[in-house]
Amino acid sequence: MRAGAWVLVRFIARRDRGLIALWIGVAVALPLFNAYSLAALLPTEETRVAFAGMSAGNPITRALLGPVHGTSIESLVAWRSGVQSLLITGLGGLLFAIRHTRAEEDSGRGELVAARPVGRQAVVTAVTVLVAVVNVAVTALLTVGLSLGFGYPPGGTLLFALTVGAGGMAFAACGLLAAQVCQSAALARGAGVGVLVAGLVPGVVVPESWIGIFPAGWPRLAQAYGAERWWVPLMPLAFAAGLTVAVFVLSSRRDLGAGVLPDRAGFTGPVRGRLGSPLALVWRLRGGQVVGWTVALGTAAAGVGWVSASFELATLTRHTLLAIFTYVFCMVVACLTVAGTLRPYTEESRGRAAPLLAAPTTRARWLGGHTALSLGAPVAMLLAVGLGSGAGNALGTGSVGPLLTQVGAALLFVPAAWAIAGVTIAVYGLRPRVAVPVAWAAVVVSAASVALWEAGTIGDTAFLLTPFGYVHPSISSGFVVPAAFVVVAAALVVAGGAGFARRDLLA
């Protein structure tokens, strides 16, 4: 059943050598960076005690990262890096797993491979092997880097690194399972990222004593450089093993290209509405996703708003909880904005733009239709977040006040989302080949700057230049910054449109 796996391991490793290097690099660099910056920031025991006290008093960090277990520099580094590292190894493994399983089937290349003497579990085996190699490498490099480079105790360092590596395995197994169950790669990615987020942020709503059953609790439970519970990395490993068994069972039974959920019967009647304009086509192609996400975000926000109304945990009040979640929802909307705005690139590179542009449709009209939805979608989603969380909170507290506040807070992010869409459209119009990496890099850099600013590495001014700056719960800026983002977004959209009007179409 696993014949051909070794050839696939070598092929995937070669095909994705750049991505794998990036994945390992970021996963190793982040804790090392934290070790470096925290050591510079907190050189003495007194500063560290003060920092620990401050962090314990900060409800946002406390909820996301858990309590501080010690005031040694290595404890602080492990505390700050744990969830971040899981996010990186988890996201890397998840996307890698889906990319080489369901996405290959979607494209039709899976058929080319399946017709060779290749076992039904060969692809899954190859991906599991590579994910394991990557996580072992991350574990080893982290251990060596922190213990040799920074002189941290090797035992605790190994435990910290093992927790991160084992967590990466668990999320990669989630990705593999999602790829088996879901009928398309996009659906699998959505499900996988949903599991990742659900696994890493429950610290905000789940009490400390229960956190251990969530991935977010693994680093807290392990307590590297503290109580050092060595059995903790076995939890994610056992979890990963269980999921992998399920994956193997599914992959040996299902038809190529099929999911576990049965096919929906195709729509056979005439196309609803008239596809009379490029904008109508754009809506037909992307509208379902926009509506789906808007409803999902609104529902989730309503739940959060309602729960937070009666929430009072130590220093974490309902106001701060709502503010954190609104911020997290803004980040999700930013990611969805990039994904949606990149759609014209997909359409063009797959050759689906050419037939439309060969018809009497101008480039401006075609791109204009996509741009209209790219700019409109975040407004709808943010409005849903604001209305949902506000209404939920109003129901819980019995006062209408939160509704307006929340709608305002969510809509404040619109200029930033437009700026992100603007960057994407500009790169797409001017340098389409690098549109996907550059657009996502912009979001990743913006998200990373949140961590950098919180760690004090970059100042307020620099942080306000990034889209996540002025909406941060701890920052109150006037209306100048959002207005500036609107202007920048408009300029970027115009630049992208002008570039697209002048350049060659992609083959």
Partner 1 sequence: MDAAISVSGLVKSYGRVRALDGLDLRVDTGEIHGFLGPNGAGKTTTLRVLLGMLRADAGQVRLLDGHPWRDAVRLHRRLAYVPGDVVLWEELTGGETIDLLGRLHGRIDEGRRAELVERFALDPGKKVRGYSKGNRQKVALIAALAARVELLVLDEPTSGLDPLMEAEFRRCLARRRDEGATILLSSHILAEVEALCDRVSIIRQGRLVESGTLAELRHFTWTSVTARLERPLDRLEGVHDLEIDGGTLVRFRVDSGQAGRALVRLAEFGLVDVTAQPATLEELFMRHYRQLPEAVAG
Q: Which residues bind to partner 1, rule: CB under 8 A?
A: 1, 3-4, 7-8, 11, 15, 107-109, 111-120, 253, 255-257, 262-266, 507
- Rounded Cα gap, residues 294 and 379, in angstroms: 10
Question: Considering the complex, what minimum distance in angstroms separates the CB of residue 262 from partner 1?
Answer: 6
Q: Of 302, 310, 323, which Cα lies nearest the Cα of 409? A: 323
Residue 257 or 396 having the CB closest to partner 1 = 257
Q: What minimum distance in Å lies between the beta carbon of 320 and partner 1?
A: 47
Q: Give yes or no for a contact between 321 and 300, defined as CB atoms under 8 angstroms apart.
A: no
The minimum distance between CB 103 and partner 1, in angstroms, equals: 12
492 contact partners, CB below 8 Å, separation of at least 6: 419, 422, 423, 425, 426
Q: How far apart are CA 17 and CA 242, in angstroms?
A: 28
Residues with Cβ < 8 Å from 374, sequence gap 6 or more?
337, 340, 341, 343, 421, 424, 425
Q: Least Å distance between CB 112 and partner 1?
A: 6
Closest CB to partner 1 among 7 and 438?
A: 7
| Closest CB 435 distance from partner 1, rounded Å | 15
Give residues with Cβ within 8 angstroms of 274, minimum separation 6.
280
Q: How far apart are CA 86 and CA 106, in angstroms?
A: 28
Burial status of residue 485 (CB atoms within 10 A of its CB: 0-12, 13-18, 19 or more):
buried
Closest to 46 (Cα-Cα) out of 68, 71, 23: 71
Q: Which is nearer to partner 1, 262 or 276 (CB)?
A: 262
Please report how close the Cβ of residue 155 comes to partner 1 at its closest, in angstroms: 43
Closest contact distance (angstroms) between CB of 485 and partner 1 is 35
Nearest to partner 1 of 11, 440 (CB atom): 11
Q: How far is the CB of 253 from partner 1 (least distance, A)?
A: 8
Based on CB atoms, which residue is closest to partner 1, 252 or 299?
252
Question: Is 257 or 368 the residue whose CB approaches partner 1 more closely?
Answer: 257
DSSP 316: B
What are the structure tokens assigned to 42, written together? Answer: 């907190």
Q: Is 262 helix (H, G, I), strand (E, B) or coil?
A: coil
Quickly list H helices, 184-253: 185-200, 217-222, 234-251
Q: Please, which residue, 113 or 187, has the CB nearer to partner 1?
A: 113
- Closer of 6 and 230 to partner 1 (Cβ): 6
